[in-house]
Structure 1
Amino acid sequence: MLLRAIVRNCAVIRLGCLGATMLLAALLAGCQGGVLDPQGPVGAAQRTILLNSVAIMLAIVVPTIVATLGFAWWFRETNTRARYLPEWAYSGRIELVVWSIPILVILFLSGIIWIGSHDLDPMKPLDSQQKPLEVQVVSLDWKWLFIYPEQNVASINQLVVPAGRPVHFSLTSASVMNAFFVPQLGGMIYTMNGMTTQLHLQADQPGEFYGRSAHF
């Protein structure tokens, strides 16, 4: 199944099937056309959050790996300079490092996530002088229906939106729950039967962008 959407001038979003596993999706995210190659303001902001989060987590992962290798090398059997302290039980400095660094990492990550979750609220309109294009999205069995209420047209598996203009998506489902996700533009959002969810996206440049139906 391939779901396709076109951004006028002409950026194209193709909504295809998500990989079988989240690990595979994470590996593919680094390739061209993934979350690390954003083509809109929402995608760019989400990439910044991702990279900042990874950098903060590396602040504890890298020293831990280095320390583990360093301890293994220093306390090797042939190193006669290593002090053997069989009665050692406590070190205030080690306790300070072991507890303070994870706490700081959690605080920084919490701040990034809290700020990002408010700035990138999918229901929050994007800052623009242009009126958003209204698009109604309906997930069906094996396909997507895109309705342009102001233009009185609709399309199946193909979405055409203008480059440089915000798009307001109103999403629902006429079947089971699904998820609408265009990695380069940002913001995965669920579609559920009996309710409507909102999403605001924008493509800065014309192009073709592949999307994913996360619940296929």
Structure 2
Amino acid sequence: MLSLKNLRGPLLLLAFALLAGCKADVMNPSGDVAAQQRDLILISTMLMLLIIVPVIILTLWFAWKYRQSNTEAEYAPDWDHSTHLELVIWAAPLLIIIALGAVTWISTHTLDPYRPLQRVAAGRPVAADVKPLVVEVVALDWKWLFFYPEQGIATVNELAAPVDRPIQFKITASTVMNSFFIPALAGQIYAMPGMETKLHAVINKAGEYKGISANYSGAGFSGMHFKFHGLSQADFDKWVQTAKANGGELSREKYLALEKPSEREPVRLYANVAPGLYDAILNRCVENKRMCMKDMMAIDARGGQGKPGTFNLVASSQSNRTYVGALCTTNNLTGAVTTPVAQPL
């Protein structure tokens, strides 16, 4: 019978064989933003190793030199201070912390995901006449929905962008908090319902890359991934035309059906998208007869609604949607309640 000790070698070989198939996109990126983030990881690691490596070496050296069997090692039980040693112990870490702080401060501002790109690659600034490709991202349970407002299309679990063109992602979620992450393109950024986060990035190499959810969001989380295609401008135009030729219609009713939880959804293309659908998703008002969050906030910004504000809103609104079922007043003297009066909004 084989023991665990005898199986150790074959198990290690199996582990290395499995790891050989891994693709380290984070350390081998294809986008300029991800490349800068990789460089930041390497620089920070090297700076910290300047302390870690000498400490490990000295620990091993002291353990060997002052081992019990080494009778020739110097024995100084009354030693308690060395100015030179104190300077090295305190000065070296202090300089490294200063260097790490400077690198972190610069990179925090340079790689701010909300900041529009200043370059598409090292030494290649963004041309003045180039506009970013806008992609609106919605994290659903458990799939990804992408809107291309400029092209007028939408996709599920498939994303594409031209090489060397800046991309501006606008990101939100339908229900729970999630995280949008394409390791080869840029770092992860959270998607939250009722809020919009942004990410600016660029892909520099044509190819097919993996996009994932980096925040656990329930039972279907493990299958919540998609393909990101870096394409030439000509191939991207063909991809858009394919979506327009073969895609369906994404109305508000079809979106509400799509929004229901489902796992491992196939790629879907939509040639027509209901006007203002992304904005309605962001403001939580896709369904009929629901006030949008931005309208609620506008009312709050004007000091709240109150009874006079309610009457004014009812009287001035031209919408067919009904938000207030009745407006009631109480007679404080008799305790009687007036007949409710319903008004369409």
With the length of structure 2 as denominator, give the TM-score of the two structures. Answer: 0.53
Q: Give, in angstroms, the shift of residue 163 of structure 1.
A: 1.3
Q: Following the alignment from structure 1 to structure 2, what is the Cα–Cα distance between the partners of residues 108 and 181?
A: 29
Q: Structure 1 stretch 143-152 or stretch 124-133: which is displaced more?
A: 124-133
1:37-52 residue pairs with structure 2 within 5 A?
37-52=28-43
Comparing 57-66 with 99-108, greater Cα deviation is found at 99-108
Cα deviation for residue 174 of structure 1 reads 0.9
Matches within 5 A, 1:32-111: 32-111=23-102
Query: What aligned pairs does 1:151-166 form with structure 2 within 5 A after superposition?
Result: 151-166=151-166
How far, CA to CA, are the matches of 2:150 and 2:171 in structure 1? 16
Query: Are the aligned partners of 1:39 and 1:185 in contact in 2 as well (CA < 8 Å)?
Result: yes
Q: Which residue of 2 aligns with 1:180?
A: 180
Aligned to 2:131: 131
Q: Structure 2: give runs of 5+ residues left out of the alignment.
A: 1-18, 119-125, 217-345
What secondary structure is seen at the aligned counterpart in 2 of 1:159? Answer: strand
Task: Pick the structure with greater CA Rg.
Answer: 2
**Corresponding residue of 1:25:** none
TM-score (norm 1): 0.83
Q: Which runs of 5+ in 1 are unaligned?
A: 1-27
2: CA distance, partners of 1:111 / 1:81: 46
- Residues 122-148 of structure 1: per-residue CA shift (max 9 Å, x gap): 111112122110100011110111000
Q: 1:93-140: per-residue Cα shift (whole Å, max 9, x none)?
A: 221122112211211111111110111111111121221101000111
Give the whole-Å Cα distance in 2 for the aligned partners of 1:215 and 1:136. Answer: 19
Find the aligned partners of 2:88 and 2:192 in 1 and give their Cα distance. Answer: 46
Partner AA of 1:71 in structure 2 = F
Cα deviation for residue 211 of structure 1 reads 2.1
- Which secondary structure does the structure 1 equivalent of 2:28 belong to? coil
- Would you identify which runs of 4 or more consecutive aligned residues in structure 1 move more than 3 Å? none
Larger proportion of helix: 2
The answer to whether 1:116 aligns with 2:107 is: yes
Q: Which has the higher strand share?
A: 1
* Pairwise CA distance, 1:33: 4.2
Question: How far apart, CA to CA, are the structure 1 residues paired with 2:26 and 2:103?
Answer: 18
Is 1:209 aligned to 2:219, yes or no?
A: no
Q: Distance in 1 between matches of 2:102 and 2:35?
A: 18
Give the residue type in structure 2 aligned to 1:41. D
8 A Cα contact 1:33 1:209, kept in partner: no
